[in-house]
Amino acid sequence: MDIETSVVGTVTVVRLKAPRLDAAQSIRFKENLRGLAETGADHILLDMGEVTFMDSSGLGAVVNVMKLVGSRQRMELAALTPAVAKVFQLTRMDRVFTIHATVADALNAGLKAAG
Amino acid sequence: MQTSGIRTFTISIAIRSVQDEVAGSVLRICDWLASHAIAPAIRSEVELVLAEALNNVVEHGYLYSPDGAIEIAVSLSDVQLTTTIVDSGRKFDHLPEGQAANPEDLALADLPEGGFGWALIRTLTENVTLERVGDRNRLTLVHRIEDRQHVPG
């Protein structure tokens, strides 16, 4: 899975470039994000705007990375497409993650918290 | 006087127990549903349910062996969509309930990374049944579509 990263202040924005976060992609996703978590990025924002499908394998991979990032760093999500948001809602995992409507919203929230 | 003009359309796909083929078959079925004017919201749910059920066969039925045969058949009528998935993997004893705990009550380290699939399948289908047919597992999933087809968006 390709990812594009950009750093905005203390936030590392990670844009997923694959349309499907599913069983076929979940291992690659975890590998990619593991490296990022280990560089110690303080605040990771997962931009899921290009992901149009996520199943429970994909969700599990996101949880796995969240646990890896741990409580020292923060990981939040942004730009969930409707099908992906639905999976978070049905599994109640939307109560566990901080989910922003857009990357801009997330960055504004982050900047306010830092300032 | 009415003639029983219920038409049923069916698609059948045979794949091997490989995740890329699972994804391919799910996409083909969704395209087929689109060609029959099934609403996007319904197609989205079917896509998820199919992915979950097929992943389960790959992971638990065939234990990730790529050599397993999976037969998928989807029948579409005005009222419902019926999917059957047949495999020759390990005997599938019973349908799991699915996710138990409320994740918001759990500590970060205790969050589940799996086990969501069956709860999703149960929530999004009208009916799920499991049968043993000879040495094969047959899973049948029913989606009701009658009242939902003409809901906009």
- Residue contact A55–B51, C-beta within 8 A: yes
pLDDT given at position A42: 81
Find out whether A96 and A88 touch, Cβ atoms under 8 Å: no
Find out whether A26 and A57 touch, Cβ atoms under 8 Å: yes
pLDDT given at position B150: 55
pLDDT (tens digit per residue) in A2-25: 899 999 988 999 999 999 999 889
Better-scored residue on pLDDT, B97 or B75: B75
Which residues of A make CB contacts under 8 Å with B? 20, 22-24, 53, 55-57, 59-61, 63-64, 66-67, 70-71, 82-83, 86-87, 90-93, 95-96
Answer whether residue A98 shows pLDDT above 90: yes
Which residues of A fall within a CB distance of 8 Å from B109?
A: 67
Nearest to A23 among B19, B99, B108 (CB): B19
Average pLDDT of span A55-82: 91
Average pLDDT of span A44-56: 96
For residue A114, what pLDDT band results from cuts at 50, 70 and 90? Answer: very low
pLDDT given at position B72: 98
Answer whether residue B153 shows pLDDT above 70: no
pLDDT given at position A112: 52
- For B8-23, the DSSP string reads -EEEEEEEES-HHHHH
Nearest residue of A to residue B54, measured between CA atoms: A23
pLDDT given at position B102: 84
Burial A27-48 (b: 16+ CB within 10 A, else e): eebbebbeebbeeebebbbbbb
Which residues of A fall within a CB distance of 8 Å from B99?
A: 91
pLDDT given at position B93: 82
pLDDT given at position B3: 52
pLDDT (tens digit per residue) in B107-126: 888 888 888 999 999 999 99
Find out whether B17 and B89 touch, Cβ atoms under 8 Å: yes
Average pLDDT of span A33-62: 91
Q: Predicted ipTM?
A: 0.89
Residue B89: strand, helix, or coil: coil
